[in-house]
Structures are given as structure tokens and as C-alpha cells.
Amino acid sequence: MPLSYKEWSVTVRALAEGEQLLTLRRGGAQELEHNRFFLYPTFDFHRVDLVRESHRPELERAMEEGVWTDGEPAPVEIAPEGHLPQPDRIRIRAWAEAVQQWTITDRRILNELSPFHVWAPDYAERRLGWRRRDPLHLVLLRTHRIPRPVTVRVNDEYATDSNWAQITRDLPFEGTPVLSEGEFDHAAEQIAKIVERSRDRTPALV
């Protein structure tokens, strides 16, 4: 069965559109358990304040990653402290390869990496509860869009705290990279330089 990595729907949307190249993992083993996987959109903590203002319209567009029996929740439900009802089905439209990863302890790093993600500067602290004693793992992803989005019914096995879900239908590792090889290599080089430069300074206090 195909393996998928569960990530916030607006992040999945940004990855599939080439507007984001990164994901974050909190604590745990430094290495991802798998290096190739489909992207499974989730809707927990679908909060306006966790996305940069310039990309807040993406929160509403990211609703298209889910299918609700009673219709899509109204935009008013996407509130800073609100929680969306979980969809009956989700759309899988992309898969990714984990290309490189780093452990980060400096809270300023995400702001410096803002050209490569859509999150607000304090996203890591407010969504992931990050503290310097519990470092984050920053993962560089190369994302591919599959030829046609696949709709998958959500079942209880997917609604766990695990970062991973086994999809109970066939999905192909096919499709087109969202960035050309040259574009991706250039961005990856810039990201690596920013991360390595941050290691040469004293981490910001929490």
C-alpha cells in the first residue's frame, strides 16, 4: 500500500504549487523513516495566523484538498483559534522525495527561509510548540504532481497522531516535478547556505 506523509493542507497545497520546498518535523529521530512518499493533507489547526499575510488566501484554496458531505466549511470557520471539521475524503495530488535535512535550534531560521515556505515567522513555536531543547528537523522536499488528483476516503486508521498513513488504494509515483532541475538545484543551494550560516552564530534564546 502506498505510504503518505501527513502535513497541513495549506503546506501540501504550497508544495504542490512549487511555492514551498520545506517541511518541519518536531523531535524524534533525525532521519525521515522514508525518503519517497505521497502528501496527505490534514486540516487540524487550520489557522489564519500561522500563514504569512501575503499567502492567507491559500488557506481557502487549500480547502479544495478535502471533501465534506455537508459542503465545504465556510471561510468564517477558518479562525485563529478554531478547528475545522475533518473531511470525509481528501485529495492526493502530489508526492515528494526527501532530498536533504538539517536539525535547527535557532528560532530566526524560518524567517530567513521565508522565500521557500508560506508560514508565519512564529509558525514553529505556535503550531509545533517548539523550544530550543526540542530541536526541529527541517527537510528539503522535491515535489512531483501526479497526473490526476486521487480522492481517498478518510478512515479511522488515518486519524492517528502518526506522521504516516498507509493509503488503501494504488497510487503511482508518476508525474512532473513542480520545479525544473535547474530551479530546484538553485533553491536548494540557497537554503543550504542559509542553514549553514545560522550554525555559525549563537542560537536565539527562547
CB 96 within 8 A of CB 36: yes
pTM: 0.87
**Per-residue pLDDT tens for 54-76?**
888 887 788 888 888 776 665 54
> Which residue's entry shows cell 471539521?
85
Sign of CA dihedral 33, 36, 40, 46: positive
Question: Residue ranges of the domains in the chain?
Answer: 3-198
Close Cβ partners of 96 (under 8 Å, ≥ 6 residues apart): 5, 15, 36, 37, 38, 39, 141, 142, 143, 144
**Per-residue pLDDT tens for 90-136?**
999 999 999 999 988 887 888 899 999 999 888 877 777 776 667 78
CATH architecture of 3-198: Roll (2.30)
Task: Name the 3-class secondary structure at 84.
Answer: coil
